[in-house]
Amino acid sequence: MREIRYVILDPTGNLTALVLDPVSGEERTRITAALMDRCEQVGYLCSPEKPGVRARLQMMGGEFCGNASMAAAVYLAAGDGLQEGRETEIILEVSGADTPVACRARREKAGWRGTVQMPALQKMTDCRIRGRQLKAVFFPGMVHLIWDGDPLSGEEAELTLRKAGELFSEPAAGLLQWRETAREAGEMTPLVWVRESKTMVWETACGSGTAAIACWKSLSRGQTAGVSVSQPGGILRAEAEWSCGKAGRILLSGTVRLGEEQKLVLPA
Protein backbone atom coordinates (compact mmCIF):
# COMPACT_ATOMS: atom_id res chain seq x y z
CA MET A 1 0.00 0.00 0.00
CA ARG A 2 1.06 3.54 -0.69
CA GLU A 3 -0.19 6.84 0.73
CA ILE A 4 -0.65 9.70 -1.75
CA ARG A 5 -0.99 13.27 -0.50
CA TYR A 6 -3.63 15.50 -2.06
CA VAL A 7 -5.54 18.68 -1.29
CA ILE A 8 -8.98 19.81 -2.44
CA LEU A 9 -9.43 23.47 -3.36
CA ASP A 10 -12.63 25.28 -4.22
CA PRO A 11 -12.20 27.80 -7.05
CA THR A 12 -15.73 29.26 -7.35
CA GLY A 13 -17.31 25.91 -6.52
CA ASN A 14 -15.33 23.95 -9.14
CA LEU A 15 -13.90 21.46 -6.62
CA THR A 16 -10.37 20.54 -7.71
CA ALA A 17 -8.15 17.85 -6.22
CA LEU A 18 -4.42 18.51 -6.54
CA VAL A 19 -2.24 15.43 -6.11
CA LEU A 20 1.00 16.50 -4.43
CA ASP A 21 3.24 13.42 -4.68
CA PRO A 22 5.01 12.15 -7.82
CA VAL A 23 3.04 9.29 -9.42
CA SER A 24 3.34 7.21 -12.57
CA GLY A 25 0.95 7.39 -15.51
CA GLU A 26 -0.65 4.08 -14.52
CA GLU A 27 -1.13 5.33 -10.97
CA ARG A 28 -2.76 8.54 -12.24
CA THR A 29 -5.56 6.56 -13.83
CA ARG A 30 -6.29 4.78 -10.53
CA ILE A 31 -5.95 7.94 -8.45
CA THR A 32 -8.23 9.95 -10.73
CA ALA A 33 -10.91 7.24 -10.49
CA ALA A 34 -10.59 7.16 -6.69
CA LEU A 35 -10.81 10.96 -6.26
CA MET A 36 -13.58 11.79 -8.72
CA ASP A 37 -16.29 11.08 -6.13
CA ARG A 38 -14.81 13.89 -4.00
CA CYS A 39 -14.30 16.58 -6.64
CA GLU A 40 -15.06 17.64 -10.22
CA GLN A 41 -11.54 17.36 -11.61
CA VAL A 42 -8.07 16.12 -10.68
CA GLY A 43 -4.71 17.76 -11.36
CA TYR A 44 -1.18 16.58 -10.59
CA LEU A 45 1.39 19.02 -9.23
CA CYS A 46 4.80 18.00 -10.61
CA SER A 47 8.32 19.32 -11.00
CA PRO A 48 8.62 21.79 -13.92
CA GLU A 49 10.51 21.04 -17.11
CA LYS A 50 11.49 24.64 -17.94
CA PRO A 51 13.71 27.10 -16.00
CA GLY A 52 12.04 30.00 -14.20
CA VAL A 53 8.82 28.04 -13.62
CA ARG A 54 7.57 27.17 -10.14
CA ALA A 55 5.76 23.88 -10.89
CA ARG A 56 3.92 21.90 -13.54
CA LEU A 57 0.18 21.23 -13.35
CA GLN A 58 -0.85 18.15 -15.31
CA MET A 59 -4.62 17.78 -15.61
CA MET A 60 -6.23 14.35 -15.62
CA GLY A 61 -7.02 14.43 -19.33
CA GLY A 62 -4.14 16.60 -20.56
CA GLU A 63 -6.48 19.57 -20.90
CA PHE A 64 -5.88 23.16 -19.78
CA CYS A 65 -7.94 24.40 -16.83
CA GLY A 66 -8.01 28.01 -15.64
CA ASN A 67 -9.68 27.22 -12.32
CA ALA A 68 -7.15 24.49 -11.52
CA SER A 69 -4.30 26.86 -12.44
CA MET A 70 -5.64 29.46 -10.00
CA ALA A 71 -6.02 26.74 -7.37
CA ALA A 72 -2.43 25.55 -7.84
CA ALA A 73 -1.12 29.11 -7.57
CA VAL A 74 -3.05 29.67 -4.33
CA TYR A 75 -1.77 26.39 -2.85
CA LEU A 76 1.84 27.37 -3.60
CA ALA A 77 1.38 30.94 -2.34
CA ALA A 78 -0.13 29.64 0.91
CA GLY A 79 2.88 27.36 1.33
CA ASP A 80 5.11 30.43 0.96
CA GLY A 81 3.31 32.03 3.91
CA LEU A 82 1.82 34.93 1.94
CA GLN A 83 0.26 37.41 4.36
CA GLU A 84 -3.22 38.98 4.21
CA GLY A 85 -3.42 41.90 1.77
CA ARG A 86 -0.39 40.74 -0.22
CA GLU A 87 -0.28 39.39 -3.78
CA THR A 88 2.30 37.27 -5.56
CA GLU A 89 2.94 35.97 -9.06
CA ILE A 90 3.33 32.24 -9.67
CA ILE A 91 4.51 30.97 -13.07
CA LEU A 92 3.30 27.48 -13.95
CA GLU A 93 3.61 24.99 -16.73
CA VAL A 94 0.10 23.66 -17.39
CA SER A 95 -1.02 20.80 -19.59
CA GLY A 96 -2.71 22.03 -22.75
CA ALA A 97 -0.68 25.28 -22.77
CA ASP A 98 2.36 25.63 -25.04
CA THR A 99 3.99 28.36 -22.96
CA PRO A 100 4.28 29.03 -19.19
CA VAL A 101 1.14 30.46 -17.59
CA ALA A 102 1.27 33.58 -15.39
CA CYS A 103 -0.97 33.36 -12.32
CA ARG A 104 -1.50 35.74 -9.43
CA ALA A 105 -2.65 34.82 -5.93
CA ARG A 106 -3.90 37.40 -3.44
CA ARG A 107 -4.63 36.66 0.21
CA GLU A 108 -7.73 38.48 1.38
CA LYS A 109 -9.49 38.63 4.72
CA ALA A 110 -12.17 36.20 3.62
CA GLY A 111 -9.86 33.85 1.73
CA TRP A 112 -8.01 33.96 -1.57
CA ARG A 113 -8.45 35.51 -5.01
CA GLY A 114 -6.71 34.13 -8.06
CA THR A 115 -6.04 35.50 -11.55
CA VAL A 116 -4.67 33.57 -14.49
CA GLN A 117 -3.65 34.64 -17.98
CA MET A 118 -5.40 32.12 -20.18
CA PRO A 119 -3.80 30.51 -23.25
CA ALA A 120 -4.39 32.41 -26.47
CA LEU A 121 -7.59 31.94 -28.41
CA GLN A 122 -6.93 29.71 -31.42
CA LYS A 123 -10.09 30.29 -33.44
CA MET A 124 -13.87 30.69 -33.35
CA THR A 125 -16.17 29.02 -35.84
CA ASP A 126 -19.85 28.22 -36.29
CA CYS A 127 -20.88 24.58 -36.18
CA ARG A 128 -24.11 22.62 -36.39
CA ILE A 129 -24.70 19.69 -34.03
CA ARG A 130 -27.95 17.75 -33.67
CA GLY A 131 -29.78 20.44 -35.62
CA ARG A 132 -28.56 23.37 -33.51
CA GLN A 133 -26.28 26.21 -34.57
CA LEU A 134 -23.55 26.76 -31.99
CA LYS A 135 -20.43 28.88 -31.70
CA ALA A 136 -17.25 26.80 -31.26
CA VAL A 137 -14.42 28.52 -29.36
CA PHE A 138 -11.04 26.77 -29.51
CA PHE A 139 -8.25 27.00 -26.94
CA PRO A 140 -5.21 24.69 -26.78
CA GLY A 141 -6.56 21.28 -25.75
CA MET A 142 -10.16 22.46 -25.36
CA VAL A 143 -13.16 23.42 -27.48
CA HIS A 144 -16.21 25.12 -25.98
CA LEU A 145 -19.61 25.16 -27.67
CA ILE A 146 -21.82 28.13 -26.80
CA TRP A 147 -25.60 27.71 -26.93
CA ASP A 148 -27.74 30.78 -26.26
CA GLY A 149 -31.15 29.37 -27.24
CA ASP A 150 -33.82 27.76 -25.10
CA PRO A 151 -32.38 25.63 -22.25
CA LEU A 152 -31.57 22.04 -23.18
CA SER A 153 -32.61 19.06 -21.09
CA GLY A 154 -29.80 17.23 -19.33
CA GLU A 155 -30.06 14.30 -21.74
CA GLU A 156 -30.01 16.50 -24.84
CA ALA A 157 -27.04 18.50 -23.53
CA GLU A 158 -25.04 15.33 -22.91
CA LEU A 159 -25.92 13.87 -26.32
CA THR A 160 -24.84 17.12 -27.97
CA LEU A 161 -21.52 17.16 -26.14
CA ARG A 162 -20.80 13.49 -26.91
CA LYS A 163 -21.41 14.24 -30.58
CA ALA A 164 -18.98 17.16 -30.34
CA GLY A 165 -16.38 14.74 -28.96
CA GLU A 166 -16.78 12.70 -32.14
CA LEU A 167 -16.50 15.75 -34.41
CA PHE A 168 -13.50 17.42 -32.76
CA SER A 169 -10.14 15.95 -31.73
CA GLU A 170 -9.39 18.12 -28.66
CA PRO A 171 -8.71 16.33 -25.34
CA ALA A 172 -11.72 18.07 -23.75
CA ALA A 173 -14.94 19.78 -24.81
CA GLY A 174 -17.52 21.89 -23.05
CA LEU A 175 -21.13 22.84 -23.69
CA LEU A 176 -22.01 26.28 -22.31
CA GLN A 177 -25.69 27.14 -21.99
CA TRP A 178 -25.65 30.92 -21.85
CA ARG A 179 -28.28 33.51 -20.90
CA GLU A 180 -27.34 37.18 -20.99
CA THR A 181 -28.75 39.27 -18.14
CA ALA A 182 -26.90 42.56 -18.76
CA ARG A 183 -24.33 43.97 -21.18
CA GLU A 184 -21.40 42.69 -19.13
CA ALA A 185 -23.08 39.88 -17.19
CA GLY A 186 -24.96 36.66 -17.68
CA GLU A 187 -25.64 33.15 -16.46
CA MET A 188 -24.05 29.92 -17.67
CA THR A 189 -24.49 26.22 -16.98
CA PRO A 190 -21.27 24.38 -18.01
CA LEU A 191 -21.07 20.71 -18.98
CA VAL A 192 -17.54 19.37 -19.58
CA TRP A 193 -16.37 16.11 -21.18
CA VAL A 194 -12.77 14.84 -20.93
CA ARG A 195 -11.67 12.27 -23.48
CA GLU A 196 -8.93 10.42 -21.58
CA SER A 197 -10.79 9.99 -18.29
CA LYS A 198 -14.13 9.45 -20.08
CA THR A 199 -15.82 11.81 -17.61
CA MET A 200 -18.89 13.97 -18.26
CA VAL A 201 -19.37 16.52 -15.45
CA TRP A 202 -21.93 19.26 -14.83
CA GLU A 203 -19.40 21.69 -13.40
CA THR A 204 -20.27 24.29 -10.80
CA ALA A 205 -17.92 26.74 -12.52
CA CYS A 206 -15.77 26.60 -15.66
CA GLY A 207 -12.83 28.98 -16.11
CA SER A 208 -12.07 28.27 -19.76
CA GLY A 209 -15.80 28.40 -20.48
CA THR A 210 -15.97 31.87 -18.91
CA ALA A 211 -13.01 32.92 -21.07
CA ALA A 212 -14.81 31.52 -24.14
CA ILE A 213 -17.84 33.70 -23.39
CA ALA A 214 -15.59 36.77 -23.06
CA CYS A 215 -13.88 35.99 -26.39
CA TRP A 216 -17.24 35.55 -28.11
CA LYS A 217 -18.47 38.88 -26.74
CA SER A 218 -15.22 40.59 -27.73
CA LEU A 219 -15.48 39.29 -31.30
CA SER A 220 -19.16 40.24 -31.55
CA ARG A 221 -18.42 43.83 -30.50
CA GLY A 222 -15.06 44.15 -32.25
CA GLN A 223 -13.50 45.51 -29.07
CA THR A 224 -12.13 44.44 -25.70
CA ALA A 225 -14.90 42.95 -23.59
CA GLY A 226 -15.22 41.88 -19.98
CA VAL A 227 -17.99 39.70 -18.60
CA SER A 228 -19.06 38.49 -15.16
CA VAL A 229 -20.51 35.02 -15.49
CA SER A 230 -22.80 33.64 -12.79
CA GLN A 231 -22.55 29.85 -12.51
CA PRO A 232 -23.89 27.34 -9.99
CA GLY A 233 -20.75 27.76 -7.83
CA GLY A 234 -20.53 31.55 -7.99
CA ILE A 235 -19.21 34.29 -10.28
CA LEU A 236 -16.10 34.22 -12.47
CA ARG A 237 -14.85 37.30 -14.32
CA ALA A 238 -13.02 37.22 -17.67
CA GLU A 239 -11.70 39.96 -19.94
CA ALA A 240 -10.66 39.39 -23.54
CA GLU A 241 -8.62 42.05 -25.32
CA TRP A 242 -9.37 42.78 -28.97
CA SER A 243 -7.16 44.92 -31.18
CA CYS A 244 -6.73 45.34 -34.94
CA GLY A 245 -9.19 42.52 -35.61
CA LYS A 246 -7.31 40.02 -33.46
CA ALA A 247 -7.75 38.50 -30.02
CA GLY A 248 -5.16 39.42 -27.41
CA ARG A 249 -4.60 38.72 -23.73
CA ILE A 250 -7.35 36.90 -21.82
CA LEU A 251 -7.52 37.24 -18.02
CA LEU A 252 -9.68 35.11 -15.72
CA SER A 253 -10.25 35.82 -12.02
CA GLY A 254 -12.24 34.33 -9.18
CA THR A 255 -12.23 33.30 -5.53
CA VAL A 256 -10.41 30.22 -4.23
CA ARG A 257 -10.90 28.38 -0.95
CA LEU A 258 -8.02 26.23 0.29
CA GLY A 259 -8.67 22.92 2.03
CA GLU A 260 -6.46 20.77 4.25
CA GLU A 261 -4.00 18.20 2.92
CA GLN A 262 -5.35 14.65 2.96
CA LYS A 263 -4.03 11.17 2.13
CA LEU A 264 -5.33 8.59 -0.30
CA VAL A 265 -4.34 4.98 0.33
CA LEU A 266 -3.44 3.36 -2.98
CA PRO A 267 -3.52 -0.47 -2.85
CA ALA A 268 -0.42 -2.25 -4.11
Q: Are residues 242 and 260 in the same domain?
A: no
On whether both 136 and 63 belong to a single domain, the answer is: no
pLDDT in tens, 152-181: 999 999 999 999 999 999 999 999 999 999
Residues 6+ apart with CB under 8 A from 84: 107, 108, 109
Do 88 and 172 lie in a common domain? no
HSE of 14 in the Cβ direction (CA atoms, 13 Å)? 34
Interhelix angle 66-79/207-221, rounded to 10 degrees, is 120
154 and 98, same structural domain? no
Q: Are residues 189 and 262 in the same domain?
A: no
Looking at the 3D structure of the chain, how many domains does it have?
2
Domain that holds residue 22: 2-117+255-266
pLDDT, residue 248, reads 85
Same domain, 245 and 129: yes
Nearest to residue 14, comparing CAs of 187, 194, 234?
Answer: 234
CB atoms inside a 10 Å sphere around CB 173: 27
Q: Are 201 and 82 in contact (CB under 8 A)?
A: no
Q: Residue 220: what pLDDT?
A: 86
Segments in the chain below pLDDT 50: none
Q: Are residues 214 and 100 in the same domain?
A: no
User: DSSP labels for 226-259?
Assistant: EEEEEETTEEEEEEEEEETTEEEEEEEEEEEEEE
Mode of pairing for the β-strands spanning 234-243 and 246-266: antiparallel
- Write the DSSP assignment of 14-47 as a string of letters: --EEEE-S---HHHHHHHHHHHTTT-SEEEEEE-
For residues 18 and 104, state if they share a domain: yes
* CATH code assigned at 142: 3.10.310.10
The model carries a pTM of: 0.88
What is the C-alpha separation between 213 and 132, in angstroms, rounded? 18
Would you tell me how many other CB atoms lie within 10 Å of the CB of residue 2? 12
User: What pLDDT sits at residue 267?
Assistant: 79
Report whether 232 contacts 187 (CB < 8 A): no
Q: Strand, helix or coil at 75? A: helix
Nearest CA among 187, 183, 181 for reference residue 209: 187
pLDDT of res. 59? 93
